[in-house]
Chain A
Amino acid sequence: ETGVTQSPTHLIKTRGQQVTLRCSSQSGHNTVSWYQQALGQGPQFIFQYYREEENGRGNFPPRFSGLQFPNYSSELNVNALELDDSALYLCASSSDSSGTKNIQYFGAGTRLSVL
């Protein structure tokens, strides 16, 4: 059973650019959640995808968008990057099966630096 993998691990962009972050969910999981974690803070929920549809969204502007593919992997896209977007971006996968419904499995994250 493979875990959650995210790519790339590190990324440097300049203000105004666009970025795409990728996440492969754990085998058998149909739900992916994305979080932004600033230094010294807890993760902040961006949005969640369930069976290829957005299933909820946190307090993030529309320039944060996402996709989930038929194999349940996911992308996070951020347009018009701002300096405050510099953070660790975490992907978590989970399943709606009753046995493990309450557990999210996280990747190691992508560290994005915006200059």
Chain B
Amino acid sequence: DAKTTQPNSMESNEEEPVHLPCNHSTISGTDYIHWYRQLPSQGPEYVIHGLTSNVNNRMASLAIAEDRKSSTLILHRATLRDAAVYYCILRDFFYRKKDSNYQLIWGAGTKLIIKP
């Protein structure tokens, strides 16, 4: 199973951009890169995902290295509400059954601390 490596924690000032790195050197050609975040006392929340090209949505941007061995989640203007644990995850296709879905292999994530 392909694995990801993230820093344990990062700090940023409020209203400044945040770049959260993730290394995934053993990524396979069919692995999507997913980012989820988990606020205190809540279940994880989808942030963004991508395969090869950079992606943007209303929450964040995802920058994927050309060799796909690393990626960066970019929060353009962090607020106190963005303080959470951010998980970088590779989609793991386990055995396919009918029109099967998939599961995600999670690491320990990066705890993002936002300073006012």
Interface residues of A (CB under 8 A from B): 4, 31, 33, 35, 40-45, 48, 50-51, 53, 55-56, 58, 90, 92, 94, 96, 101-109
Contacts and interface: CB of A to CB of B under 8 A. Distances in A.
A75 B41 CA distance: 22
19 contacts: A33-B101, A33-B103, A42-B106, A42-B107, A43-B106, A44-B106, A45-B103, A48-B101, A48-B103, A50-B99, A53-B98, A55-B97, A56-B102, A90-B44, A94-B101, A101-B101, A103-B49, A108-B41, A109-B43
Interface of B: 32, 34, 36, 41-46, 49, 87, 91, 94-95, 97-109
A106 B43 contact: yes
Nearest to B92: A45
A42 B109 contact: yes
Tell me what chain B mostly uses at the interface: helix, strand, loop, or mixed.
loop
B101 A96 contact: yes
Query: Which of B91, B94, B107 has most chain A Cβ within 10 Å?
Result: B94
